[in-house]
Amino acid sequence: MQPYIPDVDVDPDEAFQLVFRELKRHQETGRRNFVVRAPVDLLEYLFSAILRKSGMSRVALELLLTKLGVYGFKEADGRILRRYLSGHTRMAWSTYQRLMLWALSSGWISMWVFRNLAFRSHEREAAQLCARKILNTLKRRTSLPDLTREQVVACFYEVYQLRQRERDQATATRLRTDSDTRDLVLSFKVGVDE
């Protein structure tokens, strides 16, 4: 029997590898609880794109993020950004995704970079959530179950689709209540139609 493969851009082999890598990363940390946060490689990609396009220094970028009230940026001395990029401090996915939108609306990343970052962040977040779900299931059992590849892939797709529905609902709510977001979306539609 062929496993159900939903309409997502991640093939089953890639889904399995993403979850497996997250499980391995967690094991290497030695932590008891699985932390679901934006990984350093995606943070480096986003911030290097912003810094390159904006011409700002890390300190100037951090000062701007502090002035804008971005969660997680309390000081304007470049230390917080440095801690994020070194992995000493982990950034929540919601903060990371807001930063992506802010960078796009500020013109500091291209639509192509934004799409690439969005896709990669969605698949990595789903892989982390799936890995955490698997680990939490294993903790509650006395014997280690033999998880099949199909079970891991099914878990990934379930989490991926759930998070996508949650993002769609949040976007719809934001479009109804936030005029700046509505204007941003309309500006993209105009660019596509031309």
Could you read off the pLDDT of 38-88 as tens digits, one per residue? 999 999 999 999 999 999 988 888 888 888 777 667 765 667 788 888 888
DSSP letters, 91-103, are B-HHHHHHHHHHH
What is the pTM assigned to this prediction? 0.80
DSSP letters, 133-160, are HHHHHHHT-SS-----HHHHHHHHHHHH
DSSP-derived 3-state class of residue 115? helix
**Residue 109 reports pLDDT greater than 70:** yes
pLDDT at 78: 60
30-40 per-position pLDDT tens digit: 888 888 999 99
pLDDT at 16: 93
Instruction: Give the whole-angstrom CA distance, residue 172 versus residue 174.
Output: 5
C-alpha dihedral sign at 9, 12, 13, 18 = positive
Question: What is the crossing angle of helices 149-177 and 179-193, to 10°?
Answer: 110
Name the more confident of 71 and 169: 169
C-alpha pair distances (Å), 69 with each of 74, 83, 116 = 8, 18, 26
| CB distance 37 to 90 below 8 Å | yes
pLDDT at 142: 42
Residues 6+ positions from 116 with CB-CB distance below 8 Å: none
